[in-house]
Structure 1
Amino acid sequence: MALTITIILVILTIAGSVLYGSRNRGSGGVTEWAVGGRRMGTLIFWFLNAGEIYTTFAVLGISGYAWAYGAPAYLAFLSVSLTAAVGYWLTPRIWHAGKAGNFITQADFFADHYRARWLGIVVGLAGIAALIVYVQIQITALALVLRLSVDAEISNTASAIAAAVLMLLFVMSAGLRSAAFAAAVKDILMVVIVIALSATVAGHVGASSIGDVFTRVQDAYPGIGSLPGRDPDMGLSTIWMMTAGINVALGTYIFPHMFQLTYSASDSWAVRRNAVFQPLYSLSYFFIILLGFGALLAGTMPALDDPNAVLLTFVADRYPAWAIGLFAGTACLLALVPGSVLLLTAGSIFSRNVVRPMMPGLSDTSELLISRISMVGCAAIAVYLTIGATQSLVDIGLTAYASIGMLAPGVFLAFLWRQTNAFAVLAGIGTGYVVLMLPSSSPLMAWFPEWEAGLVAMLFNALVVLALSPLLNLVTGKREQAAAG
């Protein structure tokens, strides 16, 4: 019964999404496929935006983190609140720039603002790299759900390939508008199911109430409710929490797919309202962490020895088949929808900002075809990264945020400082990646004990951009004067 409900739920959602996308399609072409014709209203934009923030990273990843480490899972509360504050200021500016320049991708913005097509190519490739890591999260989670729902004997490789194929089939069917419909369905399902599970979790773990669950887990595992949590040796301290939260907040809307989603809004008010009400979603993390603690009290040991599977295993052990099916089906959608949008974005960037500059005469039809083909390549790389990986979804997510953070100084300074130089941005990106690859035992990282590595790299990136921009502008100005003379 559980498997049947899972399959029916996923098929009906996909079918409804494709139908919605085809019936509401505008003029077609790359603009319609990649940014929904720039016609997403407040409600549908809300679900689409939330759908890319609240993924399997949020539900399976955070619950598993709470089970394994305890208080460090509170990172979710901190990062979502800070992200909304950053988004309120940043996203309307991104929308206005996209509207004025008719941009499709984030790399379009960099190439136009800094008057450097080559920078658009560099940023495009960097963005694709970060997106592939983020796709890895969704493939890891979807493969896990497939293995537990269908047959645990299926190899990790086969399940990862199947997950990638499902994402590709979904996104190629109709594009961003279909993903928006599916995001609305899975968000509603997620909230209802998580609240329903939380309302009954106390009875399943021998507690008298939700509050008693927290009391009992604190008694059983002293210190779990405060940093550094269950495992002090992990370095998940207060400093880590603060720096990781800031890094996630500064990086969330720098992801290329978040740029693309922002372009899709019908007006700037839809974008700003989203930032105002988005923090309400952070309330769901209370229930997600509660379920992680409940699984710990119940003595749940995750299937396949994978902490990411804690919540799936807990539900499978303690709830009836129909509830298992609904949860597994929703978990599939939590991975399928965001993963599809990530692949769509990566394909758009590759065709528009990597291939088109080398082939200026490329038609829209050819660009769309190249975009779809490149998605297959990105999915293949993500599958390769997934095979044999043992990291938690949260750790993979922080890796993705660290990577995309290298583009953050170039974005923020574009709106804050007109003197920002394209070559300085490139130098900053290079410096940031070098710092990011340094081992934690290096002398430089020793200056920042327990800091999230991504924020350290972003800091040095920004310092290089700020220091070099005036110098490079001075050199450029002298050359232009010499040429004019």
Structure 2
Amino acid sequence: MHWTAITVFTGLFAFVTILGFVAARWRQGDLNQIQEWGLAGRRFGTVVTWFLLGGDLYTAYTFIAVPALIYSAGAMGFFAIPYTILVYPLVFVMFPRLWSVAHKHGFVTAADFVNGRYGHQGLAFAVALTGIVATMPYIALQLVGMEVVIGAMGIHADGLLGELPLIIAFLILAAFTYTSGLRAPAMIAIVKDVLIYVAVIGAIIIIPGKLGGYTAIFSAIPPEKLTLPPPPEGSLGSYSAYATLALGSALALFLYPHSMTGVMSSSSGHVIRRNAAILPAYSVVLGLIALLGYMAFADNLSAKPEFAEGFARYGANFAVPALFLDKLPGWFAGIAFAAIGIGALVPAAIMSIAVANLFTRNIYKAYFRPDCTPEAEARMAKIISLIAKIGALFFVLGLQQSLAIQLQLLGGIWIIQTLPAIFFGLYTRWFDPRALLVGWAVGIGTGTWMAWTLGFKSSIYPLVLFGVTMPGYAALYTVILNLAIAAILTPVFRAISTTAHQDVTEREDYA
């Protein structure tokens, strides 16, 4: 039991818990309205949005998994850096348009926009269902990240006693999210991001000094882990895998419901543009976080007896916590663990709110209670946010963690299939919604089949074209197929059917 780290972690966790409940009185609004509970009244300015999106996108699992991938796979793990750089020009160009039309028509979710733009409830349902299914394992992975940190501090007994800290954290998360809505993770994100910057900057100064400097660290890394392996003859090998992972992940990231929720809560399109310009600051921090994987490898942590149980239990995900325990003072390790733990609460809260918004607006209200009052709508959203967290907790406690990881792998492949309807819908109404729905179904089916052929252990599919093998991110390959089918079928559907699908938006709405 690392009591100093536990004490610091517990104190900071208690502080953000209080903040979560206090947030209900921050920028007060009627929390019995889904626009207020689920989007904080769309009143967040540049600074709060920056912290909220940073807390939303750079999660506890990012802090754990990116260095773990560097630790185990080497340079391939650095794809996360260019992908977080590629995404922000897309945000700068596209998402102010989405915010503008959503603000004009009161859209809360991406499925609201799709329904309004294409006048096709089936396509909107597909977008909503994809968002919900893709997000649920993402919530679970935040709890996985928290579980690794709790175990690293020495709290890893078997049975209910060992899971009790995670259950308590879940109850706290559920309570302040239900009470305060999106205001809670927005306020907590400020503390979380400050802690992460402090922890990372401290770690990259202290740890290399104890390992003999960066020259000694890189000298200890095998050459094959420092660069991508050259591709074999007749294949693009790791080069195409790296490039497609970066591009596909960039295209998918802001299609996730929690990313959309962060964008929709902004006070204007200008706030979104400013954030697209300054959010790459997090990419710098992510690059530093990734280097922790090399530091852990150079420290040869897996060979140290005191960490044997942790690596046996958590695998490479234990690399960063073990590095912090081995090389940082106990109190500073407590701050770093608190940053990771709170880094699980913020995105998990936003994700559960996003799932609740989707279910309530695009399934419950659309199919079961079209006449429900705003108060009933908000009440249902709060209940669904609790159910989403229970589902995530079930994944972590009741099932193998590998299942949550496999489903998250599928989540990226699935969520990108909503790209043609959303991204192209911001600029043109040319696509027929029925063609988009067929393209979506083919993309979902093909992507799932690709993952199945890989045993759900990877998303890099070896596509063969003209005798050349191009290993690449299945999500990118399948969304290209999705888009091609939608483009081919659009004139076909228009030729065989005269059904009109009403677009409630106008050109001026996108200004």
TM-score by length of 2: 0.86
Is the CA contact (8 Å cut-off) linking 1:347 and 1:371 kept in structure 2?
A: yes
Is the CA contact (8 Å cut-off) linking 1:260 and 1:345 kept in structure 2?
A: yes
1:475 aligns with 496
Is the CA contact (8 Å cut-off) linking 2:237 and 2:470 kept in structure 1?
A: no
Q: Structure 1 residues 6, 444: closer, same or farther in 2, change over 3 A?
A: closer
In structure 2, runs of 5+ residues without a counterpart are 231-235, 455-460, 501-511
Which segment is superposed worse, 61-70 or 14-23?
14-23
Q: Structure 1 residues 288, 236: closer, same or farther in 2, change over 3 A?
A: farther
| 1:180-191 → structure 2 map (5 Å cutoff) | 180-191=186-197
Q: What's the CA shift string for 1:74-97, capped at 9, x where partnerless? A: 111110111112111111111112
2:348 aligns with 339
Q: Pairwise CA RMSD of aligned residues? A: 2.4
Q: CA deviation at 1:146?
A: 2.6
Q: Structure 1 residues 188, 147: closer, same or farther in 2, change over 3 A?
A: same
Q: Structure 1 residues 194, 396: closer, same or farther in 2, change over 3 A?
A: farther
2:475 aligns with 454
| Residue 377, structure 1, aligned to residue 378, structure 2 | no
* Structure 1 residue identity aligned to 2:378: L
| 1:411-426 → structure 2 map (5 Å cutoff) | 411-426=422-437
1: CA distance, partners of 2:112 / 2:268: 19
Is the CA contact (8 Å cut-off) linking 2:98 and 2:426 kept in structure 1?
A: no
2: CA distance, partners of 1:305 / 1:368: 39
Q: Structure 1 residues 362, 149: closer, same or farther in 2, change over 3 A?
A: farther
1:113 aligns with 117
2: CA distance, partners of 1:405 / 1:82: 15
From 312, 316, 324, the equivalent of 1:307 is: 316
2: CA distance, partners of 1:63 / 1:282: 14
2:5 aligns with 2
Q: Structure 1 residues 351, 21: closer, same or farther in 2, change over 3 A?
A: same
Is the CA contact (8 Å cut-off) linking 1:307 and 1:392 kept in structure 2?
A: no
1: CA distance, partners of 2:386 / 2:280: 34
| 1:7-406 → structure 2 map (5 Å cutoff) | 7-28=10-31, 29-149=33-153, 151-155=155-159, 161-205=167-211, 207=212, 209-214=213-218, 216-218=219-221, 221-228=222-229, 237-301=238-302, 303=310, 304-357=313-366, 358-386=368-396, 387-391=398-402, 398-406=409-417
Q: Structure 1 residues 432, 313: closer, same or farther in 2, change over 3 A?
A: same
Q: CA deviation at 1:446?
A: 4.2
Q: What's the CA shift string for 1:432-458, capped at 9, x where partnerless? A: 111112146599944463111111111
Q: What's the CA shift string for 1:41-94, capped at 9, x where partnerless? A: 011011111111111232111111111111011111110111112111111111
Q: What's the CA shift string for 1:198-221, capped at 9, x where partnerless? A: 10112322x1x234422x233xx1
From 433, 440, 445, the equivalent of 2:444 is: 433
Q: Structure 1 residues 271, 176: closer, same or farther in 2, change over 3 A?
A: same
Q: What's the CA shift string for 1:428-485, capped at 9, x where partnerless? A: 11001111121465999444631111111111111111111122123333x67xxxxx
Q: How many residues align?
A: 469
1: CA distance, partners of 2:356 / 2:322: 35
Q: CA deviation at 1:38?
A: 0.7
Q: Give secondary structure in 1 for the equivalent of 2:487.
A: helix
Is the CA contact (8 Å cut-off) linking 1:147 and 1:154 kept in structure 2?
A: no
In structure 1, runs of 5+ residues without a counterpart are 230-234, 481-485
Q: What's the CA shift string for 1:246-303, capped at 9, x where partnerless? A: 1111111111222222111111110001111111211112321221111111111261
Q: Give secondary structure in 2 for the equivalent of 1:6.
A: helix
Q: Give secondary structure in 1 for the equivalent of 2:225.
A: coil
Q: Structure 1 residues 381, 393: closer, same or farther in 2, change over 3 A?
A: closer
Is the CA contact (8 Å cut-off) linking 1:248 and 1:398 kept in structure 2?
A: no
Is the CA contact (8 Å cut-off) linking 2:71 and 2:296 kept in structure 1?
A: yes
Q: CA deviation at 1:145?
A: 2.1
* Structure 2 residue identity aligned to 1:111: N
